[in-house]
Amino acid sequence: MSELFGLMQDVPLTVDRILDHAGTWHGTREIVSRDAHGAVERTDYAGLHRTAKQVSAALAAAGIARGDRVATMAWNGARHLAAWYGATNMGAVLHTLNPRLFPEQIAYIASHAGDRLLLVDPACAPLVGPLLKEAPSIERVIFLCAADQLPATDYPAVAFDDWIAPHAPEFAWGGFDERLACGLCYTSGTTGNPKGVLYSHRSNYLHTLMTLQKDTLSLSQRDSILLVVPMYHANAWGVVYSAPAVGAKLVLPGMKMDGQSIFDQIEQEGVTFSAAVPTVWQGLLQHLRATGQKFSTLERVVIGGSAPPEALIRAFQDDYNVEVIQGWGMTETSPLATLSTATAQVLEQPYDEQVRRKGMQGRLVCGLELKLTDDDGNRLPHDGKTAGRLKIKGPTITSGYFGGEGGDVLDEEGFFDTGDVSTIDASGYMQITDRAKDIVKSGGEWISSIEIENIAVAHDDVAIAAVIGVHHPKWDERPILLVQPAPGATPSRDALLAFLDGKIAKWWMPDDVVVLETIPLGATGKIDKKLLRQQMADYRLPELAA
């Protein structure tokens, strides 16, 4: 019997269609942007559409063609967003560089990607001169600013507004295969050199549809979105596409991430939704508690990057009536893959059980597959108790790294190993117990550093908590708790151990507590355990130090 095909139009799923839709059907919906000096500029989706067309024309005039890499190194702003769509919509590859990385890492990434143009925030100007010496592929530098804000440099550069001014907003977008490369983002490189994840138009478009589901971000035209998560961080969790897709108001905060600045923008712009890593929200909560201020419009926040402690979830929900949704994903997953939205069954449970579920990484987005395996690749049960290596598969999951780095990354069933150790329960809720490289292995058993950290950070004297394993001659490794004090606090070893007592298994109890002035954070706001281990390289457990 011959196959029968549907009679539907075959339209490529390319991201230019997202901005075309926003510019046509949500043209007057506002985009608010704040620069490094605090100055606010306002445009709308129609204006973004016109500017992005000019960017495409300017790129073409500069010799940029399909597949060429165009780099940005900038904070969240309207010019950055126009550069983003201007590059992707004409078939170039938008490569976001993280300005918080070490200069040598930025140079490695730009060179490895073969970036040809660099569009950069004026606040990042000190990074550019050294970068150009180490990344010879970069032919031209455009600062994302008006002419009167152009930094003084010892290399040729032009202001964004002057660069696009000669070009009419009439460039023809699309007309290419949906599998064409669209964006390039490098992993944070916690082990070895960073590796590039190359998104396609199709994967980004499908990811957009996934994020708009009710049980994911549930965005609408009625939302006002404060995009705190940086645009250089894994597609800004997809919001750079999902907000225009529905015509939500978009508020771009620039580089000011302190509690006062974020609160002011939430209130001034009627923000209903925001997304950021836990450290940002902890800073905002500290500001609210110090000032006694309350939200008047904020309804929900998505927290990702690392697991939010239960105390943070309860504070937002109990004290400020803001729903907390935890999202999990990684650069390799576009990034959103699971979210901790409640099922009907969970909503019937007592409030404490609902909060416990919020602390899990959540349930899988439609279109993806998850499995747990042991180290030999054998599948493990979804019983909520058995921990295994978390593996994922689907149209928004990487099949390999740019340039062939890392070799074959898929198993025989086509699943990607996330590097996380997790459980999945019978209701489909996934919970990460640790990164495979961070888990503490004591006496042949696993101790979850994440679980201990989330409990410890709930103590009033603790701002940031981290658990690492240190050598022990009998048990191979034992956990120690490292804490950064809350402002004005003086944590004590005995008080913190007493706080943990009864909340974790006895054999999980840290063998020591070390108070550090600061705990290092990586370029995406996560605790940098690689650097932390280096700092603690000479540490010895008290029982072994004598």
pLDDT class for 311, splitting at 50, 70, 90? confident
Cα separation, 421 vs 446, whole angstroms: 10
Mean pLDDT value of segment 9-18 = 97
Share of the chain above pLDDT 90, in %: 80
Q: pLDDT by residue (tens digit) across 142-166?
A: 999 999 999 999 999 999 999 999 9
Mean pLDDT value of segment 41-66 = 98
Share of the chain above pLDDT 70, in %: 98
Cα separation, 515 vs 496, whole angstroms: 11
pLDDT class for 81, splitting at 50, 70, 90? very high
Q: pLDDT by residue (tens digit) across 237-252?
A: 999 999 999 999 999 9
Mean pLDDT value of segment 490-498 = 93
Of 526, 493, 499, the C-alpha closest to 512 is: 493
Cα separation, 55 vs 16, whole angstroms: 13
Mean pLDDT value of segment 101-129 = 95
3-class DSSP string for 420-450: EEEEECCCCCEEEEEECCCCEEECCEEECHH
pLDDT at 147: 96
pLDDT at 222: 98
Cα separation, 480 vs 482, whole angstroms: 7
> Which backbone phi and psi does 182 adopt, to 5 degrees?
-120, -45
pLDDT at 268: 97
pLDDT at 477: 85
Domain with CATH 2.30.38.10 in the chain: 363-435
In this structure, the number of other CB atoms found within 10 A of the CB of residue 503 comes to: 13
User: Residue 167 carries which side chain, given as an amino acid letter?
Assistant: H
Of 316, 45, 446, the C-alpha closest to 326 is: 316
Mean pLDDT value of segment 180-197 = 85
Helical residues (DSSP H) of 121-257, grouped into ranges: 125-134, 160-164, 201-211, 239-246
pLDDT class for 282, splitting at 50, 70, 90? confident
Q: Which residues contact 175 (CB under 8 A, 6 or more apart)?
A: none
pLDDT class for 529, splitting at 50, 70, 90? confident
| pLDDT of residue 431 exceeding 70 | yes
According to DSSP, residue 118 is labeled E
Tokens of 325: 């949704």
CATH of span 12-29+38-199: 3.40.50.12780
In this structure, the number of other CB atoms found within 10 A of the CB of residue 522 comes to: 18
pLDDT at 448: 79
pLDDT at 191: 53
Strand arrangement of the beta sheet that strand 430-435 belongs to: 369-373, 388-393, 416-424, 430-435
Of 508, 527, 511, the C-alpha closest to 519 is: 527
Cα 142 from chain centroid?
Answer: 25
pLDDT at 21: 98
Active-site positions read 187, 332, 441, 446
Cα separation, 358 vs 325, whole angstroms: 7
* Residues 95, 70 contacting (CB under 8 angstroms): yes
DSSP string, 438-500: T-EEETTEEE-HHHHHHHHTTSTTEEEEEEEEEEETTTEEEEEEEEEEPTT----HHHHHHHH
Q: Which residue has the higher pLDDT, 194 or 272?
A: 272
Cα separation, 420 vs 392, whole angstroms: 11
Q: Which residues contact 323 (CB under 8 A, 6 or more apart)?
A: 299, 300, 301, 316, 317
| pLDDT of residue 190 exceeding 80 | no
| pLDDT of residue 472 exceeding 90 | no
Q: pLDDT by residue (tens digit) across 371-394?
A: 999 989 999 999 999 999 999 999
pLDDT at 259: 93
Tokens of 364: 């899988």
Mean pLDDT of the chain: 93
3-class DSSP string for 31-87: EEEECCCCCEEEEEHHHHHHHHHHHHHHHHHCCCCCCCEEEEECCECHHHHHHHHHH
Coil/strand/helix, residue 312: helix
CATH of span 363-435: 2.30.38.10
pLDDT at 189: 56
* Residues 161, 145 contacting (CB under 8 angstroms): yes
pLDDT at 507: 82
Coil/strand/helix, residue 245: helix
Q: pLDDT by residue (tens digit) across 201-217?
A: 999 999 999 999 999 99
pLDDT class for 72, splitting at 50, 70, 90? very high
pLDDT at 444: 63
Domain with CATH 3.40.50.12780 in the chain: 12-29+38-199
Place of tokens 């449970």: 349
Domain with CATH 3.30.300.30 in the chain: 442-545
pTM: 0.86
pLDDT at 132: 97
* Residues 452, 479 contacting (CB under 8 angstroms): yes
H or E element that contains 224: strand 224-227
Cα 333 from chain centroid?
Answer: 11
CATH 3.30.300.30 describes domain 442-545:
yes
Tokens of 351: 């409030």
Mean pLDDT value of segment 16-39 = 95
| pLDDT of residue 309 exceeding 90 | no
